[in-house]
């Protein structure tokens, strides 16, 4: 009875993982998704996990790490996020967790490395930037790395809303360390992003654990304005009312100036509010973060810099003073409300003119001349060079040089060695041609960003079930109207979902002009597709059929 014995062993494995979670971390019950992913990790598989914000992704590496022989390396993009996860480990009975980052003194970094080398620490947190340093890689090579965790894994994808070029350098690092099992974690990843993560991290024979995106306890609504002053007054009144009635909340704004303005106005209105943005000093941001978690601040007014890793279960509302840059960003930010499962209010204060600011922010053209200089410099060097060496031959700031290198890396013309040096990979490609390809890549990315902005407009202006629109963006179908959004409240969101028919969600189609794309959602009269080269487009189904615009490809995966 081999099937029976496998079932018994699987049950025993899950019981052991649950026991560790309860005894070491104090978590009485793990979810099915958590347990499934943990089993893959313990079995030595590469795993991609997509779980909603607040669903306990950190537990998926923290528990199995205790059954693995070696150090768990966690690659995390923000120091604040690293600190949050380290504190949760330190509050448990698990081995110590240490971090090595740029905010530490040399003595602190030395002490952290010593704790890892001597076996006192079982978890090591590093930023992707740290992995570009040869001394760090050399030390890691001497350790026994049992698991590599890539947190916020969508940052590796150019399709993702928070693309970070430093994540592109993780694949060669993983290989240099002997490719131990890799666990990629993210809260927002539609199909194209998932495929990009797998490819760019070099996951082998991987498994995927993907939970639904729906958060039914969040009431979604949009209030539309034509006058900015009216919108500002409404936001202050709404935030004050929600704070008095329900307690803690977040207000997201588009600029540092607005963060300060709304925080001051709310404070004058008697609300314990604080601003949070990237222009503040590190200590000031950390103080706001801690006061919010401790209940000393009721409302944080923040730019998108705030929130990654925030684990406060009783956030009762999230307001957006302006339209976000994408529904990916929006979903992640509203996901910080109602983590305790209780009702929470989500409101976007929408003025169509605000979308113009987002488009303006994406209007900068790629620096073709600079790209040519960088490509020529790297092409003429017979051996890899340090990024800082480019300053001797390329007349540009470090930030502009880095942007040029990142674009050239995206085209495959330039690569990064295991020790963080740059090399010209495609010797058959002339530098001026590499620069041209990089410009094209930048233009494709701009089109994608702008198409995301149009999807935000669609969400804000739809009269159908708003939750169904939002879930459809991520490729998830909601068969019936949700009953917990403003359009359902008004009775306009009652249209039933159309059967997918020949355009099934996540199927691959080809447009006569725009090329290949993935079907994200299908409605009674329209289909939304994410095209490889131009981004999101919503098409009228009757026009599609009449003009034979779409061809369904044989394979249903991309």
CATH code where residue 280 lies: 3.40.50.300
CATH number, domain containing residue 531: 2.30.30
Q: Does 202 share its domain with 225? A: no
Does residue 369 surpass a pLDDT of 90? Answer: no
Q: Are 400 and 387 in contact (CB under 8 A)?
A: no
Domain co-membership, 41 together with 155: yes
Longest dimension (CA), the chain: 72
Least confident of 75-89, 140-154, 331-345, 470-484: 75-89
Tokens, residue 197:
């993560």
> In this structure, are 294 and 228 located in the same domain?
yes
* Residue 378, phi then psi, degrees to nearest 5: -70, -35
Task: Decide if pLDDT at 287 tops 80.
Answer: yes
Q: Which domain holds residue 283?
A: 218-360
The yes-or-no verdict on residue 132 having pLDDT over 90 is: no
Helices (H), 43-147: 59-62, 79-90, 106-117, 134-141
CATH classification at residue 385: 1.10.10.10
Residues 6+ positions from 510 with CB-CB distance below 8 Å: 516, 517, 550, 551, 553
| CA separation, residue 343 to residues 247, 262, 331, 557 (Å) | 12, 25, 16, 36
Give the model confidence (pLDDT) of 435-458 as tens digits.
Answer: 888 888 788 777 777 888 888 988
Domain end residue (candidates: 338, 360, 382): 360
Distance of CA 394 to the CA centre of its chain: 32
| Pair 503, 542 in one domain | yes
Rg of the chain, C-alpha, whole Å: 24
> What distance in Å separates the CA atoms of residue 22 and residue 346, rounded to the nearest whole number?
33
Separation CA 327–CA 528 (nearest Å) = 14
**Is 485 among the domain residues?**
no
From 330, 360, 390, the end of a domain falls on 360
Per the structure, the count of domains in the chain is 4
Q: Return phi, psi of residue 141, to 5°.
A: -65, -25
> Is 480 a member of any domain?
no
pLDDT band at 558 (very low <50, low <70, confident <90, very high): very low
Q: Are residues 200 and 239 in the same domain?
A: no
Of 166 and 230, the structure prediction assigns the larger pLDDT to 230
Residues 269 and 382 in one domain: no
Does the predicted model carry a pTM greater than 0.85? no
E strand segments, 34-95: 47-50, 71-75
The model's pLDDT over 93-120, given as tens digits with 9 standing for 90+, comes to 888 898 888 777 888 888 999 999 888 8
Whether residues 12 and 126 fall in one domain: yes
Report whether pLDDT(387) > 50. yes
In a domain, 463, yes or no: no
The answer to whether residue 508 sits within a structural domain is yes
Residues 103 and 243 in one domain: no
The pLDDT mean for the chain works out to: 84
Shared-domain flag, residues 27 and 134: yes
Task: Determine the pLDDT at residue 9.
Answer: 65
Same structural domain, 52 and 75: yes
In a domain, 453, yes or no: no
SS3 121: strand
Choose one of 210, 240, 261: the last residue of a domain: 210
| Structure-block tokens of residue 19 | 């026991």
pLDDT of residue 10: 65
Closest CA to 275 of 83, 266, 82: 266
Verify that 176 and 54 share a domain, yes or no.
Answer: yes
**Ordered strands of the 299-302 beta sheet:** 218-224, 344-350, 317-320, 249-252, 299-302, 273-276
| Mean predicted confidence (pLDDT) in 466-470 | 91
pLDDT in tens, 153-176: 988 876 555 667 778 778 989 998
My answer on whether 281 and 399 are in the same domain is no
Q: How many residues does the chain have?
A: 558
- Mean pLDDT along residues 76-104: 81
Average pLDDT over every residue of 407-413: 81
Per-residue CA distances from 97 to 57, 89, 113, 124 (Å) = 17, 7, 11, 6
Q: Are 177 and 139 in contact (CB under 8 A)?
A: no
Q: Give me the sign of the Cα torsion angle 142, 146, 151, 154.
A: positive
* CA distance linking residue 298 with residue 105, whole number of Å: 33
Q: Would residue 536 count as lying in a domain?
A: yes
**Residue 390, domain member (yes or no):** yes
On whether residue 479 sits in a domain, the answer given is no
Compute the distance between CA of residue 167 and CA of residue 152 in angstroms, rounded to an integer.
10
**Tens of pLDDT, residues 483-507:** 999 999 998 766 555 544 678 777 8
């Amino acid at each position: 009875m081999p099937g029976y014995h496998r079932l018994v062993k699987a049950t025993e494995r899950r019981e052991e993982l649950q026991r560790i979670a309860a005894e070491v971390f104090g978590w009485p019950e793990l979810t099915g998704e958590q347990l499934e992913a943990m089993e893959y990790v313990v079995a030595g598989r590469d795993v991609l996990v997509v779980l909603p914000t607040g669903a306990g992704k950190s537990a998926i590496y923290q528990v199995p790490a205790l059954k693995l022989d070696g150090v768990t390396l966690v690659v995390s993009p923000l120091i604040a996020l690293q600190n949050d996860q380290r504190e949760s480990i330190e509050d448990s009975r698990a081995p110590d967790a240490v971090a090595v980052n740029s905010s530490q003194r040399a003595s602190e970094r030395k002490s952290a490395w010593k704790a890892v080398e001597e076996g006192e620490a079982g978890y090591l947190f590093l930023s992707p930037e740290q992995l570009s340093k040869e001394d760090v890689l050399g030390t890691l090579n001497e350790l026994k790395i049992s698991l590599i965790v890539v947190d916020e894994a969508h940052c590796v994808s150019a399709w993702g809303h928070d693309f970070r070029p430093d994540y592109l350098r993780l694949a060669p690092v993983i290989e240099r360390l002997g490719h131990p099992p890799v666990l990629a974690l993210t809260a927002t990843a539609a199909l194209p992003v998932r495929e990009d993560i797998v490819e760019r991290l070099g996951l082998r024979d991987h498994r995927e654990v993907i939970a639904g995106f729906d958060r039914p306890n969040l009431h979604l609504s949009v209030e539309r304005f034509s006058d900015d002053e009216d919108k500002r007054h409404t936001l202050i009144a709404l935030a004050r009312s929600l704070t008095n009635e329900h307690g803690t909340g977040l207000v997201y704004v588009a600029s540092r100036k607005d963060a300060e303005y709304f925080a001051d106005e709310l404070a004058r209105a008697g609300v314990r509010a604080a601003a949070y943005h990237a222009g503040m000093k590190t200590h000031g941001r950390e103080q706001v973060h801690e006061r919010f978690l401790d209940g000393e601040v009721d409302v944080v007014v923040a730019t998108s810099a705030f929130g990654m890793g925030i684990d406060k279960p009783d956030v009762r509302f999230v307001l957006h003073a302006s339209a976000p840059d994408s529904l990916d960003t929006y979903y992640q930010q509203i996901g910080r409300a109602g983590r305790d499962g209780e009702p929470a209010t989500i409101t976007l204060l929408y003025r169509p003119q605000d979308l113009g600011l987002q488009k303006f922010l994406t209007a900068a053209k790629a620096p073709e001349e600079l790209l040519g200089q960088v490509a020529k410099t790297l092409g003429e060097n017979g051996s890899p060079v340090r990024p800082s060496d480019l300053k001797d031959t390329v007349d540009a700031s470090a930030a502009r040089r880095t942007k040029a290198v990142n674009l050239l890396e995206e085209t495959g013309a330039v690569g990064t060695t295991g020790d963080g040096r740059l090399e010209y990979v495609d010797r058959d490609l002339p530098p001026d041609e590499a620069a041209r390809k990089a410009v094209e890549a930048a233009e494709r990315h701009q089109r994608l960003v702008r198409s995301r902005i149009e999807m935000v407009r669609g969400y804000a202006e739809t009269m159908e079930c708003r939750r169904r629109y939002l879930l459809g963006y991520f490729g998830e179908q909601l068969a019936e109207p949700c009953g917990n959004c403003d359009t359902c409240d008004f009775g306009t969101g009652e249209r039933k979902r159309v059967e997918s028919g020949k355009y099934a969600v996540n199927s691959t189609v080809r447009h006569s002009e725009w090329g290949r794309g993935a079907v994200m959602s299908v409605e009674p009269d329209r289909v939304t597709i994410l095209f490889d080269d131009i981004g999101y487009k919503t098409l009228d189904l009757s026009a599609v059929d009449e003009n034979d615009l779409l061809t369904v490809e044989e394979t249903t995966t991309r």
